[in-house]
Each structure stands twice: as C-alpha cells, then as structure tokens.
Amino acid sequence: MSQQPEADAPTDLTIADLAPGMEAKVISLQAVQEVRRERLLAYGVAPGRTIQVLQRSPATILKVDQTELAIENDVASRITVTEPNRMKRAFHHGQRRRKRRFRRGLKFLQRRKRNKR
C-alpha cells in the first residue's frame, strides 16, 4: 500500500463521491436518520470500518466484510468517509476497463477538489 490515507483525517467526502472499486474507511453516520443508522451499524457500516463501493448505478452497492448492501444515494451521501484507498478489483471486468474506471475515479476526485477551491 503506497498511498495510505491519514487515519480518519476529517474530509467532506461521502460514499456518494466514491467510484466503483474504491475502498475507504467510514468516519461518521451521524447525518443518517436514527432508524437507518441502527441498521447500518448492525450490518457493519460503522465508524472506523472499511467499506468498498462495488457499483453506483442503479443504486450504490457496498461491500463490508462479506456482506453486500444496496443503499440509495440519499443514504450514501450522508455517510462520510476517509480519502479512498487503493483500487481493488471491482468485478470481473477486463483489466483495461478496470484501469479506465480507476483513472476516471481519480479525475473525478481531483475535479471535485478543484471545484471546492
């Protein structure tokens, strides 16, 4: 792992900002409504735990441990996460497509940062 993110550094990134294949640590679920927060915690989407985004459309698909969860963007955008970690094999697409997706994901994040400034 070359680019280890600073542990739990405060960012304003949410799961909705991650591209398919990216991994990140959950920081907070405070913005999620209590009923759903309880369920997310029970599924393992908890502060400090690593999640991986598998897919973004038609819904966000997350992987926590060996559990796959489908959540809507409304929920995904309320869960803050750390800077995404390395790219993991998302699915079983070809190598080229995976690389393309990774680059697209990185560009997306850079653009987002630029826009903030």
Q: What residue ranges bind other proteins (CB under 8 A)? A: 34-44, 46, 54-55, 57-59, 61, 65-72, 74-75, 89, 91-92
Token digits for 53? 């985004």
**Nearer Cβ to other proteins, position 1 or 35?**
35
Provide, rounded to whole angstroms, the least separation between the CB of residue 81 and other proteins. Answer: 17
- Is the link from the previous residue into 58 a cis peptide, with omega within 30 of 0? yes
35: its two tokens: 């009923």
- Beta strand residue intervals within the chain, DSSP E: 23-28, 50-55, 60-64, 67-71, 80-81
Please, what is the minimum distance in Å from the beta carbon of residue 110 to other proteins?
A: 26
Listed residue (76, 70, 83) closest to 16, CA to CA: 76
Residue closer to other proteins by CB (options 18, 37) is 37
Work out how close the CB of 13 gets to other proteins at its nearest, in angstroms, rounded to a whole number: 20
Nearer to other proteins among residue 59 and residue 109 (C-beta): 59
